[in-house]
Structure 1
Amino acid sequence: MTGPGEGAPSAPGLRQRVRRPNDVAGLATAAAALAVLVLAAVQAPEAVGAVVGVVPAVAGDPLRTVFSVASAVASLALLGVLLTVAVDAARHRRTALLHALVALVLGLVTGAAAERLGDAVGGALAVVLTGPRDDAALVPVVAAVAFLVGADLQRRRRWGQPARWAVLGALVSAVALGNLTVAGAFAGVLLGAVAGLTVRVAAGVPPARPADDVVRAELARAGVHVGALRVAEQTAGFLRFTAADATGDVTITVVDPDGRGVPFVRRAGRALRFRTSVVGRPSLTQRGGLERQASSAALAAAAGVAVPRVLALLSVGPALVLAERPLTGTPLPAAGECAEQGLAAAFAALRRLHDVGLAHGSLAPDCVVVLSDGEAGFRDLRSAQPAAGDLQRDLDAVALLVGGATVVGAGPAASALRAEYTAGSAAPRLTALLQPVALPPAVRRSVRGAEVLADLRKELAQPDGTTVAAPRLERFSVRAILTVAASTVAALLLASQLSQVSIVESLRRAEVPWLLAAVGGSAVTYVGAALVLVAFVPTALSLGRTTQVQLATAWLTLVTPPTVGHVGLNIRYLQRAGLTVTGAAASVAVSQLATVAVTVAILLVVAWASGVSTSRLSLVPSSDVLLVVLGAVVVVGLLIAVAPVRRMLGRRLEPLVRQSLPQLLAAVSEPCRLLTALGGILLQNAGYVLALDASLRAFDVSVALPTVIGVYLVASTVGSVAPTPGGLGAVEAALIGGLTATGVPVSAALAVVLAFRTATFWLPAPVGWLAFVRLQRRHLV
């Protein structure tokens, strides 16, 4: 007796054994985790000892008796599962039984070798690899796990859950009785997984894809009688055939779980890179993708749009089979003189598709088919997204516009868009989406190095010059990725410094009153921020309530980049207070602009005031502060010298200045509001400086006040442009660098920065969450 996909006859060359990508990935992951565990035992034995000590062995009765009985029951259950899997494999999957037995032998050898290695090396490695020598359970665990992994229970899912529970019960009992340590249990599972996966990767597994005659037989049962199957496309876990029946051509797509690792990584990577509003909620499995493709085809047909007609969707063993009737027509690039008419028909069809909420998702010119009656249809719905949002549908229209422009030119493509899709005028938001990252890969490659996008922007320009800011499509920009990489390198360097100093010893010497003073300085900053906002709002606001809003932003900084959550919450608060969206945004922009301007002025004044001395008349700035300030100026200057950075700053700052300048001038004309704002900015900065100075004094570190101010302001500036939540990592690095540059020892600087960030960043966060919840309940944000 054979199951689908194993032992059935098939076409020559298509039924060879396969190596699943997820098996290879699993083997690499298990081997890497095992290497990390062994390396930790060698390099950090204290840490391994701490982990082992978390779960001590049970020593006294009656608890030990209970675990002894549980161990016996778990061992019998595991033995029963092993025998059941072996009998099942002998009946249905003889090759899987052979693999399981080979994996069992390899597991026995590997476990025994690990025990010998642990005995030879000793120390923490012995704790990990052998554990207690009396009645040690490492070898049985490795052998059992290797057998189950080698048996490939992905094909017999009914036994997978009992096997996992039996192994877990045996491990818990062994750890409780002292036959294994916690680290040894992890090592045993990883060694067994490595042994089993090594056999599966080395020997390969029978493909889950059904044989050709099985596919034909299942299709015939569904009423689709096709002849010979010809391979048209083949990738990991995906196979597309072409065939024919009495009516015409038939396309048959088969997906199986063997190659699920590849599409999962690709689609998960796309979902991580782009925002949900761009890619929707893509299916991460090929089976789910094929099911969505079939449902999308039905939805498109209901909208009167020509797409491949679904003939059957069948489950054949672990595989899924989709049979479709392909469109008969001419691809748009080959339409010749009919291309312009075909593009206009394609926009009309796309309009109908979008009206029922369906986005195509990958509209390249080859996907557009011009039919014999002059209408147009779409093929290849593999990326289709039902219930698509506005942005996804806009991306579809832009993809068809750009792809069509490569065939008929920018002018005719823009005319077709206006005539059949946007009802006479191109929406400004479509112009904003004319950027390479918004295009499908095939379209993006076709316009690389050409002027198609620039020509389309000219064709779609509004008569009044109206422009719309480009929406954010990616979750992570290149700048964010580079920042994370640089932060990782900085963290490694910082870790090497931490290994040479004792922060715990420094914290023990801290003076608590000064730490409380640092917390008080942190609290003052929220009152200052509230005063700044109140000063620039044309309506009266409660200072207490506004202070609560600023405190609530302390929680938002944990999950958003600096200034993003702060700005968004303030705008929402001002809207609730009766301001329009434009007025709220302008008020917040003015407060931010004024804060930046005054902060820069304070930094310059401090740099020169630091040189004034009572013993000598001098206006030369302190060398310490000057060093910090000049370093910041050099970094900013180098960034501005880069043309792309300069253009980016221009694009971002120009709307801000244009929007906030009128309100800023109005505030200047009212001395009371201006003084309130200035006082708020000074109070906010004074609070942070007080917190930093108190943190320094808590560890008996003496630094001149101008130097403290300069170090804080530079670190604050660095944190405001870092993409990490709350400037995490960037602020710490800037503070440590600034303090050590002014002569503070590394150990003291680390302890000071830890105390400062705890007082100003970590402690206010839970209080901010409570304030946020309270404001929400009162409908104030």
Structure 2
Amino acid sequence: MRVDGREIPVTGSLLPPLTRRTSDIIRVVLAALGVGVVVVGSVITRPEWLALERSVSNIIGFLNPAQSNLVYLCYGVAILILPFVILIELVWRRQWKLMAGYAAAGLVAGLLLSITGTGLSAPQWHLQVPDRLDTFLSQFLDDPRWIAGAAAVLTVSSPWLPTRVRRFMWFLLLAFAPIHLVVSTVVPARAMFGLAVGWLVGAVIVLAVGTPALEVPLDAAVRLLAGRGRTVTAFTVLRPAGPGPLVLAAAVDGAERELIVDLYGKNQRSHSALRQLWRRLTFRSSETPSPYGSMHRAVEHRGLLALAVRDAGVAAHEPIAVSGLARGWSLYAHSVPHGRPLAESGAEILPAVWAALGTLREHQIAHGDLRPSEIRVRDGAVLFGGFASAEYGASDTQLQSDIAQLLVTTTSLFGREPAVRTAIEALGEQAVLDASRRLTKFALPPGMRRSVPDWSDRLGEARSEVRKQTGQDRIEAEQITRFSRNQIIQLVLLVGLVYVAYPFISAVPTFFTQLRTANWWWALLGLGISSLTYVGAAVALWACASRGISLWGLIVMQIANTFAATTTPARIGGLALSVRYLQKGGLGAVRATAAVALQQAVQVLTHITLLLFFSVAAGTSADLSHFVPDATVLYLIAGVGVGIIGTFTFVPKLRGWLNDSVRPQLQEVLGELVALARDPKRSVLIVLGCGAITLGQAGALWASVQAFGGGTTFITVTIVTMIGGTLASAAPTPGGVGAVEAALIGGLAAFGLPAEVAVPAVLLYRVLTCWLPVFCGWPIMRGLSAQNKI
């Protein structure tokens, strides 16, 4: 690079990789969304758009036919010559390298819109002058290929065009739709599609080729530093531009001998804006500082914080210059950080580290990014660098975040015991305890997570050591994000509930008509019997957990469990909620999982035993074809099962997962079953509880059948409930909605119950055993979550 007659060598690549060109990536994403919107509008809602366009055209189409033709003629001429004007502008400005991109954009856009089901369709443009000039121009104005080519070449050329010229050309091209409405015509859908495709093609080419914003104004940086008394002799790229700035080492003539120059371009501004937007949407307001109006303001803030920290006596470098450069770039130059990295020091430096953080706290300064590389040691004093995330006049939240970050950093470098002990001695037990609530994944900056090896392990070590040294049983994590994990799960479950309830809601009018003939005393009896299932499930789980949990709490949890189980396929939500409740009650993760698995295993054994018993007791033949799948389905299920077994056998990762995760839990369950056989009282409680679940469901269905006139025995209903419920449990729909009703109605019909009794009886049974508990379970689950019991 030659600046003012001097040759200044530059070592390293100044260009960011394609994946880091944030501004260009955003342009591609928006263009792709534009194509999607046009496609959806053309294919799905085109009739509504036509009606709207005709209405708008009738309102604003005030021109008579002669005036409309004149406007159409003038605009058509402008669109026809637009690509040629862009080409002349590029030639005039000698943008020879851009010619390839210009040609590629026009050709690709035209070819994409020439593809048909039978191959490529050539343009049918008649260039001879016809009798009506507006008819001649309409060939180009309404042809999607010409519009796409014009949009593509304008997108590619825009970054190199002057601002006023670029804005005028885009205004001219985007006036395509309003002009059609003014002249009382409907906007051609194919031309709008061409406009969107052309923008997308141009955006992709711009991403690949680059823009002037990628050209780093190093010559301006050299002149700026020369004005500060530092003559640059060479540049070396230390870190290419990406999420952060382009970092260069500048060799200079002077006392410093070397400076660090951080350069921020438009891509960093776009990335910063997206990051700020994401944080404001997902993090609480106390966690997000005020957004910067521009990248220059952010760089300026960093320089001012460096001055403030220098005045406090703990700055690792001196700010040299902050300035805006050409093409939207900003510069922040500072001296090389003093001292050696913290990682090269021993544990004896820990008191000085926490004393330096105390100095920042006294000046109400939060650093915000205390990764190991930003902490240095010079002559026994600890200094800080960085300051890109620092805040002056910091809140208590930001100051606590600094303590949590430094706990992780010092734990990673010096071990958890000395790191936590020194922090407590320097800042006090309560300050460290409050800050330890922020030892969570989302509370740590992404850059710090990348810089600390095995950061999740260090996080857990620091949290457990704080708990140990402060004598706390547990440390409640601070909620950093706007929505906690439990809140997101509850939202998903609520959406699932709406989805699964829709078929039932559509049948509500007919069902209410049939309810007029029901005997409500039998319905109340069914509700009472169904409530026994929750008591039975709670007793069984209480015994499986070795009776270490409150029985009443388990009964209440079973109602919330109904909501979680109904709104998730295969009732996995209910199982997860049970495990979570037992863990919150004091059981370990493996022990809680084993207790729930033991209950499910005994439930299956009890279910099968009762099914065999009642089948023998029925002593009657019935058409059970509703329950038995076709042979093809059975073969398919068997083939899928064999394939799954083979996959888990031959894939090393899956085989390892079976050995490391599943096998210990199976051994735990088998051990519990053996211990259960040696404890008769506990065995009886679990078996009775599991039996109450099955018999309670059968009793509720029998009472529902009696409410509409009866016609079958309790034994028959029990068989239908067990067989139909078992088959329907494999349904992929949450709560088995649709499958349960079909299986039960078909089963009752197989035993001779009329449809006019079976259908309303099954619907009433589902109301009593599913939907009423679901709507009661939602507020109960929220209450348990608020009490931190799940």
Q: TM-score, normalised by structure 1?
A: 0.57
Residue 159 of structure 1, CA deviation? 3.8
The alignment status of 1:257 with 2:262, answered yes or no, reads no
Aligned-partner Cα distance in 2 for 1:469–1:299: 34
Residue 168 of structure 1, CA deviation? 2.9
Residue 234 of structure 1, CA deviation? 1.4
1:170-181 equivalence runs, <5 A? 170-177=176-183, 181=187
Residue deviations 1:226-261 (CA, integer Å, cap 9, x gap): 321111111337321112431213101112224655
Quick one: which amino acid aligns to residue 575 of structure 2?
L
Aligned-partner Cα distance in 2 for 1:91–1:646: 76
Residue 345 of structure 1, CA deviation? 2.9
Partner of 1:714: 773
* Identity in percent: 19
Aligned-partner Cα distance in 1 for 2:412–2:526: 53
Residue 456 of structure 1, CA deviation? 3.1
Partner of 1:102: 103
Partner of 2:434: 429
Does the Cα contact within 8 Å between 1:75 and 1:170 map onto a contact in 2?
no
1:316-331 equivalence runs, <5 A? 316-318=325-327, 319-331=329-341
Aligned-partner Cα distance in 2 for 1:447–1:119: 56
Aligned-partner Cα distance in 1 for 2:116–2:412: 66
The alignment status of 1:296 with 2:302, answered yes or no, reads no
Quick one: which amino acid aligns to residue 143 of structure 1?
G
Residue 324 of structure 1, CA deviation? 0.5
* SS of residue matched to 2:159: coil
Partner of 2:285: 276
Partner of 1:639: 576
Quick one: which amino acid aligns to residue 438 of structure 2?
L
Aligned-partner Cα distance in 2 for 1:418–1:343: 13
Aligned-partner Cα distance in 1 for 2:210–2:304: 34
Residue deviations 1:407-443 (CA, integer Å, cap 9, x gap): 3444543454345445x75354223233444334147
Partner of 1:660: none
Residue 364 of structure 1, CA deviation? 1.9
* SS of residue matched to 1:241: strand
Aligned-partner Cα distance in 2 for 1:425–1:134: 75
Residue 312 of structure 1, CA deviation? 0.9
Which of 352, 356, 359 lines up with 1:342 in the alignment? 352
Partner of 1:379: 385
The worse-fitting range, judged by mean Cα deviation, of 215-224 and 96-105 is: 96-105
Residue 403 of structure 1, CA deviation? 1.8
Which of 41, 46, 49 lines up with 1:48 in the alignment? 46
Quick one: which amino acid aligns to residue 773 of structure 2?
V
Cα distance change on mapping 1:309 and 1:179 into 2, 3 Å: farther
Residue 83 of structure 1, CA deviation? 7.1
Aligned-partner Cα distance in 1 for 2:398–2:77: 55
Residue deviations 1:157-208 (CA, integer Å, cap 9, x gap): 4444333332332321124446553744541321211232243244444563
Cα distance change on mapping 1:40 and 1:170 into 2, 3 Å: closer
Quick one: which amino acid aligns to residue 153 of structure 1?
P
Cα distance change on mapping 1:645 and 1:711 into 2, 3 Å: closer
Aligned-partner Cα distance in 2 for 1:266–1:298: 26
The alignment status of 1:142 with 2:148, answered yes or no, reads yes
Partner of 1:404: 410
Residue deviations 1:611-649 (CA, integer Å, cap 9, x gap): xxxxxxxxxxxxxx9x9899669767513442x453347
* SS of residue matched to 1:152: helix
Cα distance change on mapping 1:605 and 1:380 into 2, 3 Å: same
Partner of 1:605: 528
1:507-656 equivalence runs, <5 A? 605=528, 607=530, 638-642=575-579, 644=580, 646-648=582-584
* SS of residue matched to 1:228: strand
Residue deviations 1:113-148 (CA, integer Å, cap 9, x gap): 27999999xxxxxxxxxxx98972534432332222
* SS of residue matched to 1:55: helix
* SS of residue matched to 1:313: strand
The alignment status of 1:449 with 2:457, answered yes or no, reads yes
Quick one: which amino acid aligns to residue 142 of structure 1?
A
The alignment status of 1:243 with 2:243, answered yes or no, reads no
**Residue segments in structure 2 that go unaligned for 5+ positions in a row:** 122-137, 514-523, 534-558, 588-758, 783-790
Cα distance change on mapping 1:458 and 1:715 into 2, 3 Å: closer
Does the Cα contact within 8 Å between 1:331 and 1:365 map onto a contact in 2?
yes
Aligned-partner Cα distance in 2 for 1:323–1:467: 46
Residue deviations 1:60-90 (CA, integer Å, cap 9, x gap): 9744556656556656776898677555544
Does the Cα contact within 8 Å between 2:232 and 2:251 map onto a contact in 1?
yes
Quick one: which amino acid aligns to residue 605 of structure 1?
G
Residue deviations 1:649-671 (CA, integer Å, cap 9, x gap): 779xxxxxxxxxxxxxxxxxxxx
Does the Cα contact within 8 Å between 1:107 and 1:191 map onto a contact in 2?
no
Q: TM-score, normalised by structure 2?
A: 0.56
Partner of 1:220: 226
Residue deviations 1:677-727 (CA, integer Å, cap 9, x gap): xxxxxxxxxxxxxxxxxxxxxxxx97777864655433324544789xxxx
Aligned-partner Cα distance in 2 for 1:630–1:338: 53
Partner of 1:657: none
Quick one: which amino acid aligns to residue 50 of structure 1?
E
Aligned-partner Cα distance in 2 for 1:376–1:266: 31
Partner of 2:318: 309
Partner of 2:697: none
Cα distance change on mapping 1:84 and 1:255 into 2, 3 Å: farther
1:722-741 equivalence runs, <5 A? none
What is the RMSD computed on CA atoms of the aligned residues? 5.1
Cα distance change on mapping 1:209 and 1:309 into 2, 3 Å: farther
Residue 107 of structure 1, CA deviation? 6.6
Partner of 2:479: 472
Residue 383 of structure 1, CA deviation? 2.4
**Residue segments in structure 1 that go unaligned for 5+ positions in a row:** 121-131, 515-600, 611-624, 652-700, 724-781
Partner of 1:739: none
Partner of 2:638: none
Cα distance change on mapping 1:317 and 1:707 into 2, 3 Å: same
Partner of 2:239: 233
Does the Cα contact within 8 Å between 1:241 and 1:253 map onto a contact in 2?
yes
Partner of 1:14: 13
The worse-fitting range, judged by mean Cα deviation, of 205-214 and 49-58 is: 205-214
Aligned-partner Cα distance in 2 for 1:435–1:333: 23
Quick one: which amino acid aligns to residue 638 of structure 1?
L
* SS of residue matched to 1:647: helix
Aligned-partner Cα distance in 2 for 1:240–1:95: 30
* SS of residue matched to 2:465: helix
Quick one: which amino acid aligns to residue 716 of structure 1?
F
Residue deviations 1:725-749 (CA, integer Å, cap 9, x gap): xxxxxxxxxxxxxxxxxxxxxxxxx
Report which of the two structures shows the higher radius of gyration computed on alpha carbons: 2
Q: How many residues align?
A: 539
Quick one: which amino acid aligns to residue 238 of structure 2?
A
Cα distance change on mapping 1:90 and 1:370 into 2, 3 Å: same
Partner of 1:395: 401
Residue 446 of structure 1, CA deviation? 4.3
Does the Cα contact within 8 Å between 1:149 and 1:193 map onto a contact in 2?
yes
The alignment status of 1:200 with 2:206, answered yes or no, reads yes
Residue 283 of structure 1, CA deviation? 5.3
Residue 325 of structure 1, CA deviation? 1.3
Partner of 1:536: none
Aligned-partner Cα distance in 2 for 1:79–1:64: 24
* SS of residue matched to 1:150: helix
Does the Cα contact within 8 Å between 1:30 and 1:194 map onto a contact in 2?
yes
Which of 184, 189, 194 lines up with 1:188 in the alignment? 194
Aligned-partner Cα distance in 1 for 2:412–2:564: 50
Partner of 2:28: 27
1:648-727 equivalence runs, <5 A? 648=584, 708=767, 711-717=770-776, 719-720=778-779
Cα distance change on mapping 1:99 and 1:339 into 2, 3 Å: same
* SS of residue matched to 2:332: strand
Aligned-partner Cα distance in 2 for 1:77–1:174: 14
Residue 149 of structure 1, CA deviation? 0.2
